[in-house]
Amino acid sequence: MAGISWFQECATVKPFSLSLCIALCGIPGSFAIAQAGAPKPPMIPSGETRKLTTHTYAIEDKDTTPGVPNIGFVVGSRAVLVIDTGMGPRNGKTVAAEAQKLAPGHQIYLVTTHVHPEHDLGAEAFPPQTKMIRSVDQEKDIAQYGLSMANTFIARSTTNAELLTGANFRTADIHFDKSYDLDLGGVAVRILAMGPNHTRGDTAIWVPAERVLFSGDVAMKGLPSFASPDSSVKQWLASLQTFASLKPSIVVPSHGPIGDMSYITGYQSLLTTVRDRTTALKRQGKSLEEVTSTLTAELKPKYVDSNRLAGAIRTAYAEAS
C-alpha cells in the first residue's frame, strides 16, 4: 500500500508539496514553473539522430526538457536495439521511424531504462514485429504501480493528457532476471538489471566493444532522483560500482547531455557523502528534518538542485542504523 500513497502524494500539486513531488517524481523544478506559462511540449524531434560511435546513436536532449528522455540506438547488421520510447504513442512512432531510417528492414528490439511514462509508454506504437525486452523487476513495477505515474502526468497538462491518454505498457517478448546478452550482428550488447535505484526496474545497456554505456537515470548530470519506495542508497552505490568497473568512454544518461565517467564518479562522491553524513547525524540523535536541513545547507553550495537532495537524504536516513 505504501506505493499507492506515494503516488497520491505526487499527484497533489500544491505549494507545500511541490518540492517533495518534484523530488519523488524526478520532474525538474522548471516543469512546475513552466505550468504557469507555456510549457515546451515533450516531443522527441525527428531527424536529429546523432552518431556516437561505429554502432551507437542517440537523440540527445541536452536541455533536459521535462518529459523528454534521451533516445539510444545500437545498430548491427541484422537488428537494431532501441533504448527508450518518448512519452506516449506519438513519440514512440517518431522513435520507431528513426530506428527504421538507421536500420531499414532490420529486426527491432526495444528496451526501456525504466517504466516511467516518458521512457516506456511509447512502446505500443512500435511495429508489431518489434521484440520488447523487459527485466523481471520492470514487470514487478508495472504489476504494482500500473499507470499511476501516467495518470499523475496526465493530470499535469493537456499536452501530457493528449500524449498519454489510452497509452499502455507493451507486453514483453523477452524476459530476463539479471542480464541479457543480445547479438545485433557484428555488435554485442549486454542489458543489465540494476536493482532499485531511481526505480526498482532500472536497466542499463552496455556496448563493450565501443565502451558506450546507456546509464538510464542511474548516472546523469542532474542530481539522482529517488523516485520509488524501493529506492536504496546502498543499491545505488553498488550500481555505480558496477558502472565504474566497466570503464565506459561515453555515458548516455536517460536525461540531459551525453557525458562520461565523471557522471559516475560524481554520483559516487555525492551519495557517499549523503550516506556517511546522514548516518553520523542520525547516530547523534538528529531527526530526519534536522538532518535534511543540516545536510542540505552543507551541500547546497555544491549542488543547486536541492529538491533532489531531500529525497537522497530521506532514503539514506531510512537505511542508516
Task: Give residues in contact with Zn ion (CB under 5 A).
Answer: 26, 116
Cβ proximity to Zn ion: between 26 and 122 the closer is: 26
Distance CA 176, CA 138 (A): 10
Q: How far apart are CA 129 and CA 107, in angstroms?
A: 8
Least separation in angstroms between residue 84's CB and Zn ion is 10
CA proximity to 296, closest of 280, 273, 318:
273
C-alpha cell at 11: 499527484
Give CA–CA dist 195/93, Å, rounded: 29
Distance of closest approach, residue 69 Cβ to Zn ion, in angstroms: 8
Counted residue by residue, the chain has a size of 321
Residue closer to Zn ion (CB basis): 98 or 217: 217
CA atoms within 13 A on the CB side of 133: 27
Nearer to Zn ion, 87 or 313 (CB): 87
Are the C-beta atoms of residues 92 and 108 closer than 8 Å to each other?
no
Compute the least distance from the CB of residue 303 to Zn ion, in Å.
Answer: 19
Task: Find the shortest distance in angstroms from Cβ 321 to Zn ion.
Answer: 29
Least distance in angstroms from the C-beta of 237 to Zn ion: 19
Given the complex with Zn ion, which of 228 and 278 has the nearer CB atom? 228
| Beta-sheet strand order (sheet of 250-253) | 179-183, 188-195, 202-207, 212-216, 250-253
Minimum distance, C-beta of residue 114 to Zn ion, in the bound complex (Å):
5
- 207, 251 Cβ separation under 8 angstroms: no
Q: Which three cell numbers stand for residue 10?
A: 505526487
- Tell me which DSSP letter residue 37 carries: S
Q: Which of 255, 251, 257 is nearest to 239 (CA)?
A: 251
Q: Print burial letters for 43-54: b (CB count within 10 Å at least 16), e (below 16).
A: bbeeeebeebee
Nearest distance from residue 9's CB to Zn ion, in Å? 16
Nearer to Zn ion, 150 or 184 (CB): 150
Closer to Zn ion at the Cβ: 116 or 282?
A: 116
Closest CB to Zn ion among 155 and 280? 155
Distance of CA 12 to the CA centre of its chain: 22
Least distance in angstroms from the C-beta of 103 to Zn ion: 27
Of the pair 116, 156, the CB lying nearest Zn ion is at 116
